């Protein structure tokens, strides 16, 4: 029988070193007695653990597990970990077996420690102690379930580095002074001076509570009663619960009151403000088809009112919908690139879409583009016609089938009609080309050809309106 005594501070590292040594010396788990703290006299203990520095490789999951389990209050924790380490020598995959009772047990212990540590991060309550010192000084008393002060301390160190603090627990205490952390023996509950901010905190706790929705089980499952005695705000809970129902009933039964005087004056100011009517405001209020419901905003066309060329695309996409401007997304950027090569100045043209709202289906965090229906195109033609009337372009460039449909009433045979010039019902010439987003969907080997076609059409449009 060998006895291993692990220190109260640095327990994990000490356990790991001891386990390495034992494993290197082929000592089976049943031959080891593990202890924390000072060495007790065990009748069967004979020799100390051998010290070797030889590294033993273990699966990563084991280290994560051991780093938590060593702080558990179960006296068998070190032995259980070593037994698993022993078993992993012959079956390394065991650590992934979440159905194995040994693994399940250790995982449960790890979870309990992790939860206790998390609750310690959450529920420690400092009081300010000590005045007239350059660094402000705080202290807290906490009673954790497991030996978690040491693994909890880095959290407080990272958070409260510009002040001095002490946390006392029955097993161990931690002191952070002038940027250094040290551990000391456990303590009894210290008498900490009253702190006025604590009263403000209790006021906050009372008032953030909504008496109309009492859910005691939800509260106690996340804030178990065992922590309450060291949390000042929990003293308020009985009174809050006792009066909650009466307060909720009183709210429901209270008759509506008359508004205060100043409300009338403020509300009257509101009613006199009406925004001026413009194309954009009228468009943003459009309810001719249901597409507005899901979109962010209607996207009007953009460009000079006397532009000789009008460019019509399909509909705003994800980016256009957010920005409120046409052709700013991936297809728009591609269009800009091709237009620059073709010598077409975008800022001299009026650029717009056949449909003014983005049509899509939500898919998780993405929006999948959907082609507008014939009805939606027809409804939105009203707005396109208004834009055409205002700009009266010499030529319209129709990009893609939707624009073609909207302008000529016929969407069939786009690829055959591409490059041709047709007319709108009122006789404006329409040059037909492909939509730049079509290029984005092509495989890279056929894309240059299609891009060349669009470039040729854009060049022609530029020449015709020069």
Contacts (CB under 8 A) with other proteins, residues 225-284: 231, 233-234, 237, 240-241, 244, 248, 251-252, 254, 256-257, 259-260, 262-263, 266-267, 270, 284
Tell me, residue by residue from 341 to 360, as one string, x for binding to other proteins by CB under 8 A and - for no binding.
-------------------x
Give every CB contact of residue 102 below 8 A, 6+ residues apart in sequence.
Answer: 80, 83, 84, 87
Tokens of 298: 């209607």
Confirm if 358 and 317 have CB atoms less than 8 A apart: yes
Question: Smallest gap, in angstroms, from Cβ of residue 263 to other proteins?
Answer: 4
Tell me, residue by residue from 140 to 169, as one string, x for binding to other proteins by CB under 8 A and - for no binding.
x--------------xxxxxxxxx------
Tokens of 172: 């161990």
Question: Which region, judged by CB under 8 A, interacts with other proteins, from 62-70, 73-81, 91-99, 348-356?
Answer: 91-99
Q: Does 286 help bind other proteins (rule: CB under 8 A)?
A: no
| Of the candidate residues 17, 73, 87, 123, the single one contacting other proteins (CB under 8 A) | 123
Using the minimum distance from each CB to other proteins, give the nearer residue, 203 or 278: 203
Using the minimum distance from each CB to other proteins, give the nearer residue, 9 or 223: 223
| CB < 8 Å & 24+ apart, contacts of 189-195 | 189/141, 190/139, 190/141, 192/127, 192/129, 192/139, 192/140, 192/141, 193/127, 193/129, 194/127, 195/127, 195/128
- Please tell me the distance from the alpha carbon of residue 202 to that of residue 242, in angstroms, as a whole number: 17
Q: Does 385 help bind other proteins (rule: CB under 8 A)?
A: no
Torsion sign (Cα): 150, 156, 160, 166? negative
Question: Smallest gap, in angstroms, from Cβ of residue 52 to other proteins?
Answer: 31
Question: Smallest gap, in angstroms, from Cβ of residue 360 to other proteins?
Answer: 8
Half-sphere exposure of 371 (CA within 13 A, CB side): 11
Using the minimum distance from each CB to other proteins, give the nearer residue, 276 or 427: 276
Question: Smallest gap, in angstroms, from Cβ of residue 78 to other proteins?
Answer: 23
How many binding residues for other proteins (CB under 8 A)? 92
- Please tell me the distance from the alpha carbon of residue 433 to that of residue 407, in angstroms, as a whole number: 13
DSSP state letters, 119-162: HHHHH---EEE--S-SS-EEEEE---SSS-HHHHHHHHHHH-TT
Question: Which region, judged by CB under 8 A, interacts with other proteins, from 209-217, 331-339, 373-381, 443-451?
Answer: 209-217
Question: Which region, judged by CB under 8 A, interacts with other proteins, from 37-45, 94-102, 182-190, 405-413?
Answer: 94-102
Tokens of 306: 């006397």
Single out the residue of 101, 86, 103, 148 nearest to residue 123, CA to CA: 148
| Of the candidate residues 122, 246, 282, 452, the single one contacting other proteins (CB under 8 A) | 122
Tokens of 97: 């077996």
User: Within positions 59 to 88, which residues make up the interface with other proteins, using CB under 8 A?
Assistant: none
How many CB atoms lie under 10 A from the CB of residue 154? 10
User: Within positions 421 to 460, which residues make up the interface with other proteins, using CB under 8 A?
Assistant: none
Question: Which region, judged by CB under 8 A, interacts with other proteins, from 204-212, 348-356, 394-402, 408-416?
Answer: 204-212
- Please tell me the distance from the alpha carbon of residue 23 to that of residue 85, in angstroms, as a whole number: 8
| Of the candidate residues 294, 408, 424, 428, the single one contacting other proteins (CB under 8 A) | 294
What order do you get walking across the sheet with 164-168 strand by strand? 127-129, 137-141, 164-168, 172-177, 180-185
Using the minimum distance from each CB to other proteins, give the nearer residue, 136 or 348: 136
Single out the residue of 236, 232, 245 nearest to residue 208, CA to CA: 236
Confirm if 175 and 197 have CB atoms less than 8 A apart: no
Tell me, residue by residue from 296 to 335, as one string, x for binding to other proteins by CB under 8 A and - for no binding.
xx---------------------x-xxxx-----------
Is residue 192 exposed (0-12), middle (13-18) or buried (19+ Cβ within 10 Å)? middle
Using the minimum distance from each CB to other proteins, give the nearer residue, 210 or 373: 210
Confirm if 436 and 344 have CB atoms less than 8 A apart: no
Question: Smallest gap, in angstroms, from Cβ of residue 341 to other proteins?
Answer: 22
Question: Which region, judged by CB under 8 A, interacts with other proteins, from 19-27, 93-101, 344-352, 458-466?
Answer: 93-101
| Of the candidate residues 17, 195, 385, 422, the single one contacting other proteins (CB under 8 A) | 195
Helix or strand holding residue 105 (H, E)? helix 101-123
| Of the candidate residues 89, 206, 226, 229, the single one contacting other proteins (CB under 8 A) | 206
Using the minimum distance from each CB to other proteins, give the nearer residue, 203 or 373: 203
Using the minimum distance from each CB to other proteins, give the nearer residue, 125 or 175: 125
Question: Smallest gap, in angstroms, from Cβ of residue 229 to other proteins?
Answer: 14
Question: Smallest gap, in angstroms, from Cβ of residue 307 to other proteins?
Answer: 26
- Please tell me the distance from the alpha carbon of residue 377 to that of residue 398, in angstroms, as a whole number: 14
| Of the candidate residues 365, 412, 416, 441, the single one contacting other proteins (CB under 8 A) | 365
């Amino acid at each position: 029988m060998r006895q291993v005594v692990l220190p109260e501070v640095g327990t994990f590292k000490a356990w790991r070193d001891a386990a390495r040594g034992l494993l290197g010396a082929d000592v089976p788990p049943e031959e080891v007695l593990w202890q924390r703290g000072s060495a007790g006299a065990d009748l069967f203990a004979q020799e100390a653990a051998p010290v070797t520095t030889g590294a033993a490789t273990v699966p990563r999951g084991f280290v994560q597990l051991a780093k938590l389990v060593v702080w558990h209050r179960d006296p068998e924790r070190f032995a259980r970990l070593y037994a698993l380490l022993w078993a992993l020598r012959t079956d390394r995959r065991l650590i992934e077996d979440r159905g194995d009772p040994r693994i399940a047990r250790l995982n449960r212990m790890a979870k309990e420690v992790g939860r206790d540590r998390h609750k310690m991060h959450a529920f420690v309550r400092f009081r300010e102690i000590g005045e007239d010192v350059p660094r402000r000084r705080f202290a807290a008393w906490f009673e954790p379930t497991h030996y978690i002060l040491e693994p909890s301390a880095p959290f407080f160190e990272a958070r409260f580095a510009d002040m001095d603090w002490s946390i006392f627990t029955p097993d161990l205490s931690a002191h952070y002074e002038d940027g250094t952390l040290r551990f000391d023996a456990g303590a009894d509950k210290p008498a900490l001076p009253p702190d006025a901010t604590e009263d403000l905190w209790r006021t906050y706790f009372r008032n953030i509570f909504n008496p109309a929705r009492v859910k005691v089980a939800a509260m106690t499952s996340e804030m178990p009663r065992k922590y309450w005695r060291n949390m000042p705000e929990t003293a308020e809970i009985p009174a809050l619960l006792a009066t909650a129902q009466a307060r909720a009933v009183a709210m429901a039964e209270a008759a509506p009151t008359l508004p205060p005087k100043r409300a009338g004056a403020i509300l009257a100011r509101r009613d006199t403000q009406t925004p001026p009517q413009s194309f954009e405001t009228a468009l943003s209020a459009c309810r001719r088809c249901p597409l507005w419901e899901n979109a962010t905003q209607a996207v009007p066309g953009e460009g000079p009112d006397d532009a000789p060329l009008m460019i019509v695309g399909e509909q705003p996409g994800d980016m256009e919908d957010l920005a409120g401007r046409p052709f700013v997304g991936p297809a728009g950027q591609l269009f800009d690139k091709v237009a620059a090569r073709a010598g077409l100045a975008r800022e001299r043209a009026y650029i717009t879409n056949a449909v003014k709202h983005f049509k899509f289906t939500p898919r998780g965090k993405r929006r999948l583009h959907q082609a507008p229906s014939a009805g939606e195109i027809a409804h939105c033609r009203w707005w396109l016609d208004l834009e055409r009337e205002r700009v009266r372009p010499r030529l319209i460039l129709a990009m893609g089938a939707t624009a073609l449909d909207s302008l000529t009433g016929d969407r069939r045979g786009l690829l055959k009609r591409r490059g041709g010039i047709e007319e709108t019902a009122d006789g404006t010439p329409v040059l037909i080309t492909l939509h730049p987003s079509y290029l984005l969907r092509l495989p890279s080997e056929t894309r240059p050809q299609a891009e060349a076609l669009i470039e040729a059409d854009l060049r022609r449009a530029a020449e015709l309106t020069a």
